[in-house]
Structure 1
Amino acid sequence: MSDDLFKILNAAQQHLDAGSADLPPYSAHPLGESASAILHQVADRLQDNYPYAHPLYAGQMLKPPHPIARAAYTLAMSINPNNHALDGGRASSAMEIEAVAALAKMFHWPQHLGHLSSGGTFANLEALWVAGQLMPGTAIAASDQAHYTHSRISSVLGLPFVTVPSDDRGRMDLTALEPLLATQNIGTVVVTLGTTAIGSVDPLDQILLLQKKYDFRIHVDAAYGGYFTLASNLSPETRTAFDAIPYVDSIVIDPHKHGLQPYGCGSILFRDPAVGRFYKHDSPYTYFSSKDLHLGEISLECSRAGASAVALWATQQLLPYTPGGVFAQGLESSHAAALELHHRLTESTHFLTPSSPPQLDIVFWAVNAPTPETSSALAQSIFDEAAKNDLHLALAKLPVRFFPHNTWLDTPKNDSENKVTCLRSVLMKPEHLLWLDHLWQRLQAAAVHEVASIPQ
């Protein structure tokens, strides 16, 4: 934490403490002389990590929280509010309602029911639980590139689950979806706007057309990609999918990904507030401090960190969800960085790229080699070599059909078991665009070291 931020936080803490200055003084949990040594031990232990906050970390979906989110979370933790009931988090509950309203407004929902959650998994669980209440006995359908949490959650809820094949770009295949819908066994289709592996965007606009023909709910899992609705530089195809969000039944988005928040901050939104009736329950000891809505009355989770709401609210005040604003520009920078990296990879003799550019900010590529097996081995070698030069990437085992049909001549493209280990980069930091030359130089150096001697 920078000195300036520490000073700002210290002044804010004093202002917060002044609000209870009329109470009798007391001292709780004073730190002894050993505290400093213990915290230094903690710092030593925490050095055993990748440099997640640095632009040279371009691997998994790890984006550092904004300094104001860190400060607001820390400030709130001096109270440690619980946003289940107003008894435990009166101010933070009000801030959560306002923060969730800002998320809903971003998706053009003037009316909604929603709340924050501990993460996308639990938020998706609530969406599918409500879907099961409304469409009992019917199945949940999601693409084979959707997050594995949906099949797992369906099993937990006792709901049938159907996997829909994806096309060669990792999007839900509508020619495979429609026959499944025609059986009338599908109650909810999970549409992913930003898959975890490659950032692909399902064709939501076309799925909405199918909804007019068949009776099913649409749940959008935008845990990763949802904030890109603010970006102005998406492809027309991707833009059309995001513009269809206002017409779906429920949405999940994770502020702890692109929303610049600490972990433990997901959210679930329903377009129809009437689904709140499914949450109704009685508590003999919880809801007595106010007749106003307690967030625990519209949530399956009980105790939740009110500090998450405070941090999100503060970040939204500094960086509002305005098209063309600073927050939106950060998303546009990430997408621009992904497009530029894809272009450079396509021009390189060392690498193989999918035929279509990235839809969001996730890029994947294979190593130019005669077979998927050789390519996979080289990908691992380049991954290791790049890390030695402080460039941290990720690996993903993906279907060979994601690459052009002539990439590996002796490999059938229609075999779902045929996969290749790819290098993968999530360029989710706005700084990645400015640092792209540094990333590229290190990647090229690793490739030269590992594959320059391989016959092309």
Structure 2
Amino acid sequence: MTSRDNAVGAKAYFPGPKSENEAWVRAEFQAILDDWFDWRKSDRTGDPAAISRDDRLSADFLAERERLSQELDTLKTLMRRETATYSPRYAGHMVSELTLPALFGQLTALLHNPNNTSKEVSRVGTVIEAEAIGMLAEMIGYDPATARGHFTSGGTVANFEGVWRARYRLDHWLSLALWIAESSGEPLNVFEAAHMGWTRYAALVKQHAPDPGALRNCSAVAGNPADVFRRLSKAAGHDYLGPVVLVPASKHFSWRKAANVFGLGEEAFWEIGLDDEGRFDIADLERRVTEAEAAARPVLAVVSVAGTTETGEIDPVDRIADRLDQWRAERGWRIWHHVDAAYGGFLCTIPDGPHETVLQPATIAALKAVSRAHSVTIDPHKLGFVPYACGAFLARDADHYTVSVFDAPYLERPQISDDPWTSTLEGSRSAAGATAVWLTGRTIGFAPDRFGALLAGMIRSGDVFRNEVLGGLDGVHVLEPVDANIVCFSLGAPGEALSAANRRTRALYDALCEAGDFVVTTTTLGSVNHRSQIARHIARFDGEADEARLVLIRCVFMNPYWASEAIRDAMVPQFAATIRQALSTLD
């Protein structure tokens, strides 16, 4: 399939900004409804009807139906004022058009309403979920035969799932080490024990044969955490202050939430500094791990990001994995690595394909290393073009998917094993998101020449904007590097103070919002960890760093219609004219 043929073929998978595929979509929606109604009518045909013809013709029934119709009309009128994120004029947040397979799959599952909490109420939905997880696992490089996972309401909960499993593992290892130390009187090296690995754990269990109840009493998760921390301190001969999670300064806000939810305390989330291109700094990782070892603070997990929320950078996942592997080989430390690929996970469809030249070699290496992580977060409702709310948590294998077990007798049945609810933070979960991903995978497919080609087109759209729209504007500076399809830029005159440049950038954003022709967003890099990145950016116009923040206009190019030559030919000059007009108002 050539690039041109693929572009034409991709048009069959979207509604079209002007509802170009309306007739076909209407027919499929009607077919879905017809099948749903037929399913209900054909089940237990001898059962009586609950709503008679006389009921449907009664004055009260007709009045209630009319009331519903009127309120539905009100709702439809309200929704017409909603943000048109499907439009190629929308380059705002990480949301865009939906694929038709996702829409059809979502609607079909929505009508049947399976609850993936249990196989009892979702005989088909749970199977579809497992198959869809296999598709996503294969997409990022996991072995789909051994990988595990499930769908969540979004990336926040998926990140929580990673913390939950990393804590489960660390708590088991530390509980055993505490029991041995208390039983034998031997001094406890908390840091070494907390990273011992399952092989060492199994050998120690075989050697010492601890009572399961006694181990549970040594668990800070299953027992009393205050008491366990006190005992760990006594066994180690110094205060035990709990584990830490190492997260880059570019982290998503969900990681701060995780500190709160899991009772770790925000102090336990140690930031890893960023290099001058805004990515995870490997040297700072080494410094932080050395600091954690010295403080006897186990590393619960190291988190890297594939597609930062603000500017889209891809962390050097491969180099992080290399360093963790080196510690494992040289020091015996097993440290959990979670990749937050909520935004960039689907970019894994591009490497090793016909369009991988749209990415830099370092980005390709990073994406290909995602499969080396213990767990991964992906949001199909971002670059997967699936309706909200749909996230996914993936683990390398069953060992890394294992987590605490809870009892719910009303759901537990001897003849049904591995019910999903036992291994998910959320209880009730719709099968709609999984079905949307499943049908997307069965049609478009997550191969490099299919979905990869689609995403490559969006990266090229960002390049077109950067070169053909911004390239001809004096005093406009793109934040480099651009790892994917998010383009950020600011204003800056030669020698201008950063505070003045920031005010003008903000004013330009306000002018673009007032014009209303195109939708963009704004963001601010304000952390001290972005200092070198900010300095690198303002050096391009010899700016004066009189404040420690950088205001940027942010454009996310994930609209599939920009791949159309007709759309590009229309949008590029209009976008450029809109920005020029907005710039003229600043003068």
Structure-1-length-normalised TM-score: 0.92
- 1:377-421 CA-to-partner distances (Å, cap 9, x unmatched) read 333333333342420001111253351524353216xxxx61122
| Counterpart Cα distance in 2 of 1:71 and 1:355 | 39
The amino acid across from 2:30 in the alignment is N
Contact 1:391 1:442 in 2 (8 A): no
Which structure shows the higher helix fraction? 2
Query: For 1:25 and 1:393, how far apart are their aligned partners in 2?
Result: 56
Shift of the 241–22 alpha-carbon distance from structure 1 to 2, 3 Å rule, reads: closer
Pair 1:401-2:535 in alignment: yes
Partner of 2:463: 339
**Aligned amino acid, residue 166 of structure 2:** A
Following TM superposition, by how much is the alpha carbon of 1:179 offset from its aligned partner in structure 2, in angstroms?
0.8
Q: Is the counterpart of residue 139 in structure 1 residue 244 in structure 2?
A: yes
Contact residue 128 and residue 154 of structure 1 kept, 8 A: no
**What are the residue-to-residue correspondences of 1:311-390 with 2, within 5 Å?**
311-325=436-450, 327-344=451-468, 345-356=470-481, 358-369=482-493, 370-387=496-513, 388-390=515-517
Give the root-mean-square deviation of aligned CA atoms: 2.3
CA contact (8 A) 2:89 2:518 kept: yes
Tell me how far apart the structure 2 counterparts of residues 72 and 447 of structure 1 sit (CA, whole Å).
39
Larger deviation, residues 86-95 vs 364-373:
364-373
Q: How many equivalent residue pairs?
A: 449
Paired letter, 1:193 = A
Find the counterpart in structure 1 of residue 262 from structure 2: 157
Q: Tell me what 1:428 maps to.
A: 558
Q: CA deviation at 1:447?
A: 3.4
Q: Which amino acid aligns with 1:203?
A: P
Counterpart of 1:245?
A: 370
Separation in 1 of the partners of 2:48 and 2:401? 43
- Describe the SS at the equivalent of 2:539: coil
CA distance in 1, matches of 2:478, 2:396: 39
Does residue 54 (structure 1) correspond to residue 87 (structure 2)? The answer is yes
201-210 or 431-440, which deviates more: 431-440
- Alpha-carbon offset, residue 203 of structure 1: 0.5
Preserved contact between residue 198 and residue 363 of structure 1 (Cα < 8 Å)? yes
Deviation, structure 1 residue 437: 4.8
Larger radius of gyration: 2
Residue 174 in 1 paired to residue 287 in 2?
no
Unaligned runs of 5+ in 1: none
Q: Mapping of 1:237-316 within 5 angstroms?
A: 237-288=362-413, 290-316=415-441
Whether the 8 Å contact between 1:386 and 1:442 is mirrored in structure 2 is no
**1:10 maps to which residue?**
30
CA distance in 1: counterparts of 2:100 and 2:48, whole angstroms: 31
Query: Which whole-Å CA distance do the structure 1 matches of 2:117 and 2:473 have between them?
Result: 53
Distance 1:258 1:57, change over 3 A: same
Provide the C-alpha distance between the structure 2 equivalents of 1:60 and 1:280, rounded to a whole number of angstroms.
Answer: 38
Residue 253 and residue 402 in structure 1: after superposition, are their counterparts in 2 closer, same or farther (change >3 A)?
farther
| Alpha carbons 1:87, 1:289 under 8 Å: kept | no
Residue deviations 1:177-215, cap 9 Å, x none? 111122334331111000000000111111112102333
Residue identity opposite 1:128 in structure 2:
V
Contact preservation (8 Å) 1:249, 1:271: yes
Secondary structure of residue in 1 paired with 2:310: coil
Q: Secondary structure at the match of 2:65?
A: coil
Deviation at 1:338, TM superposition (A): 1.6
Q: Secondary structure of the residue that 1:90 maps to in structure 2? A: coil
Overall identity of the aligned pairs, in %: 25
In structure 2, the residue matched to 1:38 is 71
The farther-off stretch of 207-216 and 256-265 is 207-216
Q: 1:303 to 1:289 in 2, by over 3 A?
A: farther
Structure-1 residue corresponding to 2:160: 125
CA contact under 8 A between 1:355 and 1:404: conserved in structure 2? no
- 1:78 is paired with a residue whose SS is helix
CA distance in 1, matches of 2:448, 2:548: 41
CA distance in 2, matches of 1:256, 1:27: 38
> Mapping of 1:111-122 within 5 angstroms?
111-122=146-157
Partner of 2:319: 206
| Unpaired runs of at least 5, structure 2 | 1-14, 16-21, 172-241, 328-332, 351-355
- Aligned partner letter, 1:139: V
Alpha carbons 1:204, 1:244 under 8 Å: kept: yes
Residue type at the aligned position of 1:138? P
Partner of 1:148: 253
Q: Does 1:106 align with 2:219?
A: no
Q: Which amino acid aligns with 2:503?
A: A
Per the alignment, residue 223 of structure 1 pairs with: 342
Contact 2:478 2:487 in 1 (8 A): no
Q: Is the 2:141–2:368 contact (alpha carbons within 8 Å) kept by the matching residues of 1?
A: no
Letter in 1 for 2:279: R
Match for residue 26 of structure 1? 49
Q: Is the 8 A contact 1:372 1:408 kept in 2?
A: no
Report which stretch shifted further, 444-453 or 346-355.
444-453
C-alpha separation in 2, matches of 1:450 and 1:49: 24
Q: Deviations over 1:95-137 (max 9, x none)?
A: 0010001111112222112111111100100101111222344
Asked if structure 1 preserves the Cα contact closer than 8 Å seen for 2:129 and 2:434, the reply is yes
398-407 or 419-428: bigger deviation: 398-407
| Aligned counterparts of 1:235 and 1:153: Cα–Cα separation in 2 | 32
Q: Shift of residue 230 of structure 1?
A: 0.9
